[in-house]
Amino acid sequence: MSAVLTPLSGLGCRHYLAGRCLYEEHLNPGLDQGLRCRVLTRLGRTFDDFLVRAEAMGLTEEQAGRAWRNRFPETLAREGSCRDYLPGDTTSFPDCANAAGELCLLALPACPGRCRRFFKRQAP
């Protein structure tokens, strides 16, 4: 008779979030750009490009702000889609259940359960 071992859950680990492991992100926050939300990355790049053009044209901060507000709906329609988007229950942008701040949970590795990196979460 052979026994089947089931690993303990990662619940309670400070690196655990929604079934995903944040260990590598906690070691080097922001290092792996592939973990970032693609929508936020594209919108950020588009905004940076806009700022360079606005500065080259000599627009004031107020003029640039007005121009961006006018362009944003079109930019969002073009750059704001993601095949993994799942409506969330937050009021923050992009309101995706797969987003955790700027991170895309689907880009993180699945939590293997309690492992050698398990670190008990501190009580608030």
Report for 6-15, 54-63, 92-101: range of highest mean pLDDT: 54-63
The rounded mean pLDDT for the chain is 89
Q: Give the per-residue pLDDT at 80.
A: 86
| DSSP conformation letters of 48-86 | HHHHHHHHHTT--HHHHHHHHHHHHHHHHHHH---TT--
Report percent pLDDT > 70 for the chain: 97
Position 124 pLDDT exceeds 70: no
3-class DSSP assignment, residue 43: helix
Global pTM value: 0.76
Position 78 pLDDT exceeds 70: yes
Contacts of 104 (CB under 8 A, 6+ apart): 35, 36, 37, 38, 84, 98
